[in-house]
């Protein structure tokens, strides 16, 4: 059975005080309201991680993730945070290859493969992001591009390693724009990703991997998105900054 996941990517938002407030609201509501089989993941800025991790520690089904990590274990990389450091702080998930990192920090397929390795080596779960820009979709190149992003970032892994990865499909044109992919667009891409996994590994492995949709997920569209057979949850940006909206999204699995 694939895991159902509602992950909130806070990006570069919230002071520590605001973040603690948001996290405690989510924890309180989610503990009462969200089904136990749904994994709720809070992904705040780095400085908040240990405090928020303490807050959620004893709560079943609520986890903390980081937005990025460096590929090396340690060393002279001023300003960076390694997967080893995150693991030592009790973090369970790390987002890898968000489109904002690909775009603004020039993260390449090779680099993302190395970061994925670092996360897995430290026994955390990578949430590996992929997704096309609007011009690529307009030229009908989105299936090929997403297939290539996944191959570059993940297909050096063994089947056992890959089975530990969560994939997030986030069309760049839907991120922060208020424009959401239609359920048909989301479903067909998620099915495509699963097919690429099956072709390169096997069907069982493909069937076991959670694939999240990201891009303007809100309480009023999450229910129909999560009802798609190949959509296993959401990576939520803007709406994860409002506790009520995020918990409502986490409640919208059938
Ligand atoms: P959004 O962001 O929900 O604000 O569109 C999604 C993301 O970037 O993960």
How is residue 240 written in tokens? 């994860």
Helix and strand numbers, DSSP H then E, in the chain: 12, 8
At 180 the pLDDT is 87
Q: Is the CB of 208 under 6 A from ligand 1?
A: no
Q: Ligand 1 pocket check: which of 172, 217, 222, 249 to mutate, most ligand atoms within 8 Å of Cβ? A: 217
pLDDT of 57 > 90? The answer is: no
Residues 6+ apart with CB under 8 A from 15: none
How is residue 232 written in tokens? 């296993």
Q: Is the CB of 176 under 6 A from ligand 1?
A: yes
At 176 the pLDDT is 87
CA angle 24, 28, 30 (to 5 degrees): 110
Q: Ligand 1 pocket check: which of 216, 218, 240 to mutate, most ligand atoms within 8 Å of Cβ? A: 216
Q: Can you say whether the dihedral through the CA atoms of 194, 69, 29, 1 is positive or negative?
A: positive
CA distance 173 to 40: 25
Nearest CA to ligand 1 atom 1: 237
For residue 73, the 8-state DSSP code is: S
pLDDT of 148 > 90? The answer is: yes
Q: Is the CB of 238 under 6 A from ligand 1?
A: yes
Taking Cα atoms as reference points, which of 78, 56, 81 lies closest to residue 67? 81
pLDDT digits (tens, 9 = 90+) for 76-91: 999 999 999 999 999 9
pLDDT of 59 > 80? The answer is: no
Asked about 170 being catalytic, the answer comes back as yes
- Taken as a whole, the chain contains a residue count of 254
Mean pLDDT (whole number) for 50-71: 93
pLDDT digits (tens, 9 = 90+) for 155-199: 999 999 999 999 999 999 999 888 888 999 999 999 999 999 999
pLDDT digits (tens, 9 = 90+) for 91-128: 999 999 999 999 999 999 999 999 999 999 999 999 99
Nearest CA to ligand 1 atom 7: 237
How is residue 111 written in tokens? 């680099």
Separation of 236 CA from ligand 1 center, angstroms? 5
Tell which phi-psi region holds residue 147, choosing left (phi > 0), alpha (psi between -120 and 50) or beta: alpha
Is 23:251 a contact under the CB 8 Å cutoff? no
pLDDT digits (tens, 9 = 90+) for 224-250: 999 999 999 999 999 999 999 999 999
DSSP conformation letters of 39-65: EEEEE--GGGHHHHHHHHTT-TTEEEE
Is 124:83 a contact under the CB 8 Å cutoff? yes
3-state helix, strand, coil in the chain (%, to 5): 50, 15, 35
The b/e string for 86-110 (b: 16+ C-beta within 10 A; e otherwise) is: bbeeebbbbbbbbbbbbeeeebebe
Asked about 132 being catalytic, the answer comes back as no
Question: Domains in the chain and their CATH numbers?
Answer: 4-250 (3.20.20.70)
Q: Ligand 1 pocket check: which of 8, 9, 218, 246 to mutate, most ligand atoms within 8 Å of Cβ? A: 9
CA distance 85 to 13: 22
Nearest CA to ligand 1 atom 2: 237
Percent residues over pLDDT 70 in the chain:
100
pLDDT digits (tens, 9 = 90+) for 8-24: 999 999 999 999 999 99
Q: Is the CB of 245 under 6 A from ligand 1?
A: no
Let me know if 76 is exposed, middle or buried by CB neighbors in 10 A (0-12, 13-18, 19+). exposed
SS3 83: helix
pTM for the whole structure: 0.97
């Amino acid at each position: 059975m694939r895991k159902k996941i509602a992950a909130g990517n806070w990006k570069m938002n919230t002071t520590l005080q605001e973040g603690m407030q948001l996290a405690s609201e989510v924890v309180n509501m989610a503990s009462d309201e969200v089904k136990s089989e749904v994994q709720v993941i809070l992904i705040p800025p780095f400085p908040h991680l240990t405090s928020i991790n303490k807050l959620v520690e004893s709560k079943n089904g609520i986890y903390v993730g980081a937005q990025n990590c460096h590929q090396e274990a340690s060393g002279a990389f001023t300003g960076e945070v390694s997967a080893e450091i995150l693991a030592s702080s009790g973090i369970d998930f790390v987002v890898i290859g968000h489109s904002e990192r690909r775009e603004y920090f020039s993260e390449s397929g090779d680099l993302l493969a190395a970061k994925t390795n670092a996360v897995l080596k430290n026994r955390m779960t990578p949430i590996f992001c992929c997704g096309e820009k609007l011009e690529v979709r307009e030229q009908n190149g989105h299936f090929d591009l997403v297939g290539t992003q996944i191959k570059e970032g993940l297909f050096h892994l063994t089947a056992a390693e890959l089975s530990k990865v969560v994939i997030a499909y986030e069309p760049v044109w839907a991120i922060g724009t208020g424009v959401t992919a239609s359920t048909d667009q989301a479903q067909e891409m998620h099915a495509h990703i699963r097919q690429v996994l099956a072709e390169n590994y096997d069907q069982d492995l493909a069937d076991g991997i959670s694939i999240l949709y990201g891009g303007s997920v809100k309480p009023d569209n999450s229910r129909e998105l999560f009802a798609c057979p190949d959509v296993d949850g959401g990576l939520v940006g803007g709406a994860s900054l409002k506790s009520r909206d995020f918990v409502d999204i986490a409640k919208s699995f059938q």
